[in-house]
Amino acid sequence: MEKRLFSGIQPSGDIHLGNYLGALKNWVALTKEYDSIFSVVDYHAITIPYDPSVMQQKILDAVAVCIAAGLDPNNCTLFIQSTVPEHTELAWILGTVTRMGDLERMTQYKQKSQQFNQNINLGLFAYPVLQAADIVIYKAEAVPVGEDQVQHIELTREIVRKFNATFGDTFPEPQAVLGKARRILGLDGQAKMSKSMGNTISLTEPAQVIQMKLNKAVTDPARIRRTDPGNPEICNIFSLHQYFSSEDEINHISFECRRAGIGCIDCKKILGEHIIAELSPINETYQTMRHDHDYLRQILETGSQRCRTIAQETMATVREKIGLR
């Protein structure tokens, strides 16, 4: 039987290059090898401040971008997390085998509770437990994510070990699967590219905006004048070239940058052209598909039905094992 894969994305803002390079591109590639399930995780998105009036739009945006970026609904299952309520039921149960101390150590929780310190809520604290439930309810073995999520997958493994040891073998221990792009920095060249940091290029940005944002992006901080030789290894623009440019181009840029043969503006122009060439077809498909609500809703309904069947089966076993039925 094909091994199963699960991953999720929050509908909390425009999907950006970090999501695309760190997760989405890998998802598309892995659908060839795995029975793949992807979820728009709306229950996770409500753990930080959000606007309920645009939530449905953002969910459909996320689904349309995922498909436009290459996820083929005929080759994978796509659904909205909250349409399979068993996720939250299992999260409650897994919460009883999760140590508070482990949750307190989670980097994402520490960052988010600092960033949104007016509402440090239980949902934010228990976020990784719901994430564990998302994965194990489908007995998924592979979880393709960016580096920032590895700690949550490690915790999922810990929760699985504790559950299996307490109630008998039930879930496999899932593995995080990382691609070439583990952590994409934002245009500030400092923090992780992230919706909440305002340092992103979104996949659906117009071409001129992409180039304009790149033109303002931080490069090698030590290179002040055009005539200064640069250090590609500490330049975020150079690191982005790794994902969009050919090996020859990368070698050429590295060589010329080091001897001040090429300036940051030209280097950004080359990168911009490549990014735009890759994103334009995605954006075009997105723009047409986004308005086809019937098509998107039908994909999501099919996905949700399949997931509910699997999730209900798992929950029947879980309830029996923990002595509730």
CA distance 247 to 244: 10
Classify the phi-psi angles of 146: left when phi > 0, otherwise alpha if psi is within -120 to 50, otherwise beta. Answer: beta
Q: Interface residues for ligand TYM in 79-138 (CB under 6 A)?
A: 131, 134-135
CA distance 324 to 204: 47
Our answer to whether residue 195 is catalytic in this structure is: yes
Cα diameter, the chain: 74
Say whether residue 148 binds ligand TYM (CB under 6 A).
yes
Question: Is the CA virtual torsion 28, 29, 32, 38 positive or negative?
Answer: negative
Q: Residue from 4, 5, 22, 171 that binds ligand TYM (CB under 6 A)?
A: 22
Q: Residue from 162, 183, 274, 308 that binds ligand TYM (CB under 6 A)?
A: 183
Say whether residue 6 binds ligand TYM (CB under 6 A).
yes
Say whether residue 34 binds ligand TYM (CB under 6 A).
no
Binding segment for ligand TYM (CB under 6 A), chosen from 1-9, 208-216, 219-227, 284-292, is: 1-9
Q: Indicate the residue among 73 and 146 with the shorter CB distance to ligand TYM.
A: 146
What is the 3-state composition of the chain as percent helix, strand, coil, each rounded to the nearest 5? 60, 10, 35
Say whether residue 9 binds ligand TYM (CB under 6 A).
yes
Catalytic residue among 58, 112, 213, 268: 112
CA distance 67 to 64: 5
Q: Interface residues for ligand TYM in 192-211 (CB under 6 A)?
A: 192-194
CA distance 105 to 204: 35
Q: Residue from 37, 60, 90, 143 that binds ligand TYM (CB under 6 A)?
A: 143
Catalytic site positions: 112, 192, 195
